[in-house]
Amino acid sequence: MPSAKANHSLNKDEASQAVLDWYDQNRRHLPWRMPPGEWADPYHVWLSEIMLQQTTVEAVKPYFAKFVQRWPTLADFAAATQHDVLRLWAGLGYYSRARNMHRAAQVIMTKHDGMFPTTEAELRALPGVGEYTAAAIAAIAFGQRALVLDANIERIMARYGAIADRLPAAKPAIRQVLNHITPSDRAGDFAQALMDIGNRICTPPRRKGEHWSQPQCLICPLASSCRGRHQDPSSWPRKAPKKDRAIRQGYVMVVISDDDHVLLMQRPPKGLLGGMMLFPTSDWPEGSRTKTTYPIEADSLLGRLSQSLAQHPGRQVLNTPVEHIFSHFALSLTIICVTDVHRQDLKGADTGGLWYPVASLDQEALPSVMRKVFEMACGSSSAGSAAFP
């Protein structure tokens, strides 16, 4: 395999120009993008880049549209309440992104007089803005030469330079290749072009029957100088074997009143699902890889409800749990559903929860896993006499 130093033999000017020419003819038309050669609104770039972290473009499009319609400017967004931001974000996942984004907007308004920072260093000082996002904003919104390195671009550069090291050890060599071919002009267009190439052409390997898919090297603008295409391009970047996700098991209770309200609790502002509205659950959000089962604790909201509603005629336990995948663990929740509850009967239980109309539940800051819970609790036919601890 060639070393990282040997990458400097690549014709950088021809490579970068080929990428830009391809972009001018084949770019994706996305709502936060400007035409080639024009700088984009930094508010739109920042908003889209934060949303796109761990999320697909198609999933982000409707959320981006809702946000810019509700808050057309950075000042509008900074003036919003965090609860309203989380309500509009609900379903997009990784909720710390929304909380950090809201804090960052307020920092820009108070410390930068409402003007978006233009340098990577200033951008990285904002809550929730890391190396990649700062480089993307600097390049796409302000035309600066910055090394924009997301997973797509990382894969392209690893193949282009045939980087032998495994990630994350390969990152310095990958950055060296990217630095070599990133142009001084139109760095933002260049970065977006690589994103599109990674999305359409230099794709990650996917299993197709007994075989793995290969990138479409024949139509790639970088093909003539790509070292990886002559070997097994799908084998880059080299990665260490993935660890199995930890599996956490817990309980969740859906309490529906006789006047069609449902009981919710708000998570603390920090941590997993911070600030979001949840049905009462066991304490799985604070779990670890070593602990996998989370029982109902007597002094918790779920514990108090369980004691108060243990003999309620409308109580049932669903045989089928809700399964949900987070970035670092899988969750399995057994659902306890209690219907036709008199709200006044729970006042003495010190529930600590809040009642919301079922009809407007879709407007609350409810994460995807809780939406799954509610759909199963209300629509499942698998309710039965499963044992309840």
Active site amino acids:
49
DSSP string, 307-318: HHTTT-TTEEEE
The answer to whether 86 and 100 are in contact (CB under 8 A) is: no
Nearest to 45 by CA among 107, 127, 132: 132
- Indicate the pairing of strand 322-325 with strand 329-341: antiparallel
Contacts (Cβ under 8 Å, ≥6 apart) of 211: none
Contacts (Cβ under 8 Å, ≥6 apart) of 117: 108, 123, 125, 126
The answer to whether 159 and 231 are in contact (CB under 8 A) is: no
Burial class (CB in 10 A: 0-12, 13-18, 19+), 214: middle
Bridge partners, residue 331, by sequence: 248, 324
